[in-house]
Amino acid sequence: MGYIERHEMQKEVRKDYYYRGTWLQLIRPLTLSGTMTPILVGTGLAFKDGEGSWSVFFVFLITAVLIQVVVNMLNDYFDFIHGQDVEKWTEDKEDTSSYIALHAIPIVAAILTVIACIGGLWLAKMSHEWIILVGILSILAGIKYSAGKYAFSAIAMGEMIAFLFLGVVVTILSYVVQTGYISTEIIGVAIVFGLLIATMILTNNIRDIEKDKPFRVTVAILLGRKNAIRLLASLCMVIYISMFCFVLFGLLHWTVLLTFGAIPFAWKLLQTFRTDEEEKACMKRAAYHHLSFGLLLAIAVWVL
């Protein structure tokens, strides 16, 4: 799609368009493990260190999940504004009772953001005021991920932003709001979760290389399909090598090697790109890998 067509599309969005799906599909619940499992692990480590509050845990979990929900919703919204994924939308006013009006998305996103901000203020009161600044930066980064001409996802920064905010920041914050300090243990876990969420973004970008070319530049486009898949494999290897090294050097307890049980999911993810038919399931497999790894690590921290 050229410049003129995209410009016309942006003018067209002033009309009533409808998302061909439900609110549940729009928020992509399977991807929410990207926020929930790091919080489970970070909180578990805090409790193991003898400090923790269940109320702080639940408020932080709800706040962080709401922010990711907003980011997911706005991603589809701005993709359409920019002329992408138009097949997900319709102008047909008939039988749209189960569809979502385009103009309703930013309204709902704003409401959820306000609720998340209230939760963030409460957390700051219970821990440290500087959390407010981190929260604001996280929200702005989430919006900028897909909004604007130079959105992070359009300038090959999607993986890096996800690594930082959906991996490192959320993991460390889940620990800090409980303990009031940062440990080398939580930093190591945060880096691993950052790499893990980066594999999900990279997987999505590999799948969408041809679709993205007219609209944005991604790491997958810059590297090319084969090299992007090699990078994905390398990230998966680094994740498990890191866990082994953390145990070897005494940073984490040996029970975290339970996460090696997620290796078959990583292997299945990498095998996804063998055929076009299998590639359709790549995001589900990336999400299952993240979820299985995160849950196994949470079990190792909370139970073992």
Of the candidates 274, 301, 277, 66, the residue with the CA atom closest to the CA atom of residue 175: 301
Domain boundaries, the chain: 3-302
Question: Is pLDDT of 169 > 60?
Answer: yes
Tokens of 224: 């090319």
- Sheet with 100-101, strands from edge to edge, namely 89-90, 18-19, 100-101
Element (H, E) at 121: helix 104-126
Spatial distance between the Cα atoms of 23 and 242, rounded to a whole number of angstroms: 37
User: In this predicted structure, which of 6-20, 92-106, 253-267 has the lowest mean pLDDT?
Assistant: 6-20
Question: Is pLDDT of 14 > 50?
Answer: no
Question: Is pLDDT of 11 > 50?
Answer: no
pLDDT at 34: 86
Q: Is the pTM of this model over 0.85?
A: yes
Question: Is pLDDT of 23 > 60?
Answer: yes
User: In this predicted structure, which of 117-131, 166-180, 213-227, 269-283 has the lowest mean pLDDT?
Assistant: 269-283
Question: Is pLDDT of 7 > 50?
Answer: no
Do 45 and 302 contact (CB within 8 A), yes or no? no
- Residue 170: DSSP 8-state: H
| pLDDT tens digits, 28-87 | 888 888 899 999 999 999 998 888 889 999 999 999 999 999 999 998 888 888 777 778
The three-state DSSP-derived secondary structure of 172-200 is HHHHHHHHCCCCHHHHHHHHHHHHHHHHH
Mean pLDDT of the region 130-139: 90
The pLDDT-based confidence of 101 (bands split at 50, 70, 90) is confident
Spatial distance between the Cα atoms of 241 and 245, rounded to a whole number of angstroms: 6
Mean pLDDT of the region 112-123: 94
Do 293 and 200 contact (CB within 8 A), yes or no? no
Rounded (10°) CA dihedral 24, 148, 142, 156: 100
Tokens of 106: 């930013």
Spatial distance between the Cα atoms of 151 and 14, rounded to a whole number of angstroms: 21
Spatial distance between the Cα atoms of 235 and 195, rounded to a whole number of angstroms: 7
Question: Is pLDDT of 13 > 60?
Answer: no
The SS3 of residue 102 is: coil
| pLDDT tens digits, 255-281 | 999 999 999 999 999 998 877 667 778
Question: Is pLDDT of 119 > 80?
Answer: yes
Task: Name residue, tokens 């905010």.
Answer: 165
Spatial distance between the Cα atoms of 152 and 235, rounded to a whole number of angstroms: 20
pLDDT at 155: 92
Spatial distance between the Cα atoms of 88 and 22, rounded to a whole number of angstroms: 11
Domain 3-302, CATH 1.10.287 — does that match?
no
pLDDT at 52: 84
CA 202 to chain centre: 11
Mean pLDDT of the region 224-234: 94
| pLDDT tens digits, 192-227 | 999 999 999 999 999 989 888 888 899 999 999 999
DSSP per-residue codes, 199-255: HHHHHHHHHTHHHHTTT-B-HHHHH-HHHHHHHHHHHHHHHHHHHHHHHHTTSS-GG
Residue 274, burial from CB neighbour count under 10 angstroms (0-12, 13-18, 19+): exposed
